[in-house]
């Protein structure tokens, strides 16, 4: 499921782990039934390892924590969002290449 460097965010941990983080946070909004989510998962895992210490990387299951996802207007998954200072500052919707994700991360990391 999630690699050792990937956090699993929940509605209960969201404020502390994402909004209260002193580092940028990459959040993978996903669901079990979503094929593109499964395709992007290994890339997210690679990024978690490569950005360890600089960016917190985690996943939020939209089926289990839909209220959090809807708070940020997440309508399509996967959506990968970057949070800084308690706000979503960037996002990519749908399956994208690792290069696209690295480019987005490097703007904020």
**Distance, CA of 104 to CA of 90 (rounded, Å):** 7
Residue 37 known to be catalytic: yes
In the set 25, 27, 34, 41, the catalytic residue is 34
In the set 18, 25, 26, 37, the catalytic residue is 37
Measuring CA to CA, which residue among 91, 29, 33, 27 is closest to residue 65? 29
Would you say the C-alpha torsion 43, 44, 45, 46 has a positive or negative sign? positive
Residue 25 known to be catalytic: no
Active-site residue numbers? 34, 37
């Amino acid at each position: 499921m999630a690699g050792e460097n990937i956090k699993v965010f929940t509605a209960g941990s969201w404020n502390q782990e994402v909004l209260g983080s002193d580092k940028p946070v990459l959040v993978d909004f996903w669901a079990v039934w979503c094929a593109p989510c499964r395709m992007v998962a290994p890339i997210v895992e690679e990024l978690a390892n490569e950005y360890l210490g600089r960016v917190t990387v985690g996943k939020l299951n939209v089926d289990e924590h839909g209220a959090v996802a809807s708070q940020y207007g997440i309508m399509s998954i996967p959506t990968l969002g970057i949070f800084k200072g308690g706000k979503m500052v960037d996002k990519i919707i749908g399956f994208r290449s690792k290069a696209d994700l690295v480019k987005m991360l490097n703007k904020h990391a």
